[in-house]
Amino acid sequence: MNTLRLGVIGDPIAHTLSPMIHSKMAEHLNISATYTADHVTKAGLGDFVKKAVFEKWAGFNVTIPHKNRIMDFCEELDPYAAKCGAVNTVRICDGRLIGYNTDGDGLYASLKSNDIRVWDSDILLLGAGGAALSVCRKALDAGAKKITVFCRTPEKAIRFQQDARVAVENFSTLAQTKCAENADLIINATPLGMQGMDADFTDVSFLDHTNAAVYDIVYKPEETKLLRESKNRGLRAFNGLGMLVYQAVYAFAIFSGETFDFDGMASYLLKEITKEIYNK
């Protein structure tokens, strides 16, 4: 096999872990690949696509702010990516771009690996941005019973309300909500508590009367305030590194066309990346 030319594009892009994750995966699978991080602005997206096609890249990952606009350059869209209105993985086949979204599968696999069931579950989803929509669509596809989305601007969350199982509430009511009492799973899909972000959860009393598992898709720091407060209350709590790793595993399978032991690869990568970023 020729060397796979791969990369990730975004703005900003300096702190991405994708080159490290994909390089470790390629090495582990004995596949020759080059994976770079390219700083691409909104204005530069078209030129980047032309370059990637001209240089016969096998594909690339896409992060903020291009997950939506890259769809205009895709000749084909995976149905799940189309439903999410966002693409995080592009495969280039004979000069044609095919768009996928592996975020939902990434989260689902990470939940499953932690014995958290989505089917028939009652979920509280915090945030209504791009990642939240991917999570919501995947949870609905996986048979969630009910999803209550808490967000700052409910009128913007119209794309969440196309399924009768989804209800949208104002984020400011989260502290008083009784929804958590019946919830099986609480997922944070806001950047609250993320390293480098000033804002964090101020009132976590919604955790007081729940037995839900808590999944924070933020992975830096290793333990956010939400996770610490959840653990203090005896709840099972997980950060988003598993989601990050699994979405990369699925992306690499798309790029390379190879099938391999996805769970085995994810647990290998989790150990490796944990050492690198949490200094363990």
- Residues involved in catalysis: 67
Binding to ligand NAP by residue 224, rule CB under 6 A? no
Token pair listed for 162: 């196309």
Among 32, 114, 153, 205, binds ligand NAP (CB under 6 A): 153
Cα–Cα distance for residue pair 257/217, rounded to 1 Å: 27
Verify binding: residue 85, ligand NAP, rule CB under 6 A: no
C-beta of 144: minimal distance to ligand NAP in Å?
18
Is residue 194 within 8 Å of 166, Cβ to Cβ?
no
Q: How far is the CB of 189 from ligand NAP (least distance, A)?
A: 6
Query: Minimum Å distance from CB 194 to ligand NAP?
Result: 5
Instruction: Let me know: does 125 contact 159? Beta carbons within 8 Å.
Output: no
Count the alpha carbons within 13 Å of 144 in the hemisphere toward its beta carbon. 26
State the angle between helix axes of 241-256 and 262-278 in degrees (0 to 180), rounded to the nearest 10: 130
Provide, rounded to whole angstroms, the least separation between the CB of residue 110 and ligand NAP: 8
| Distance in Å, CB of 99 to ligand NAP, minimum | 16
Q: Is 266 in the site for ligand NAP (CB under 6 A)?
A: no
Closest residue to ligand NAP, based on beta-carbon distance: 129
Q: Least CB distance from residue 25 to ligand NAP, whole Å?
A: 15
Which of 39-47, 125-133, 136-144, 268-276 is the region at the interface with ligand NAP (rule: CB under 6 A)? Answer: 125-133
Size of the site for ligand NAP (CB under 6 A): 27
Residue 50: other Cβ atoms inside 10 A = 11
3-state secondary structure of 188: strand
Q: Which of 84, 87, 218, 226 binds ligand NAP (CB under 6 A)?
A: 218
Tokens of 164: 């009768």
Distance between CA 201 and CA 224 in Å, rounded?
10
Residue 125 binds ligand NAP (CB under 6 A) = no
* Burial of residue 154 (number of CB atoms within 10 Å: 0-12, 13-18, 19+): middle
Q: Is 194 in the site for ligand NAP (CB under 6 A)?
A: yes
Would you count residue 171 as binding ligand NAP (CB under 6 A)? yes
Figure out which of the listed residues 61, 89, 101, 190 binds ligand NAP, where binding follows CB under 6 A.
190
- Please, is 6 exposed, middle or buried when counting C-beta atoms within 10 Å of its C-beta (0-12, 13-18, 19+)? buried
Label each residue of 63-113 as H, E or C: CCCCCCHHHHHCCEECHHHHHHCCCCEEEEECCEEEEECCHHHHHHHHHHH
d(CA 224, CA 188): 11
What would the x/- binding string for ligand NAP be over residues 101 to 120, using CB under 6 A?
Answer: --x--x--------------
151 makes contact with ligand NAP (CB under 6 A) = yes
Interacting residue ranges for ligand NAP, rule: CB under 6 A: 64, 103, 106, 127-132, 151-153, 156, 171, 189-192, 194, 199, 217-219, 240, 243-244, 247
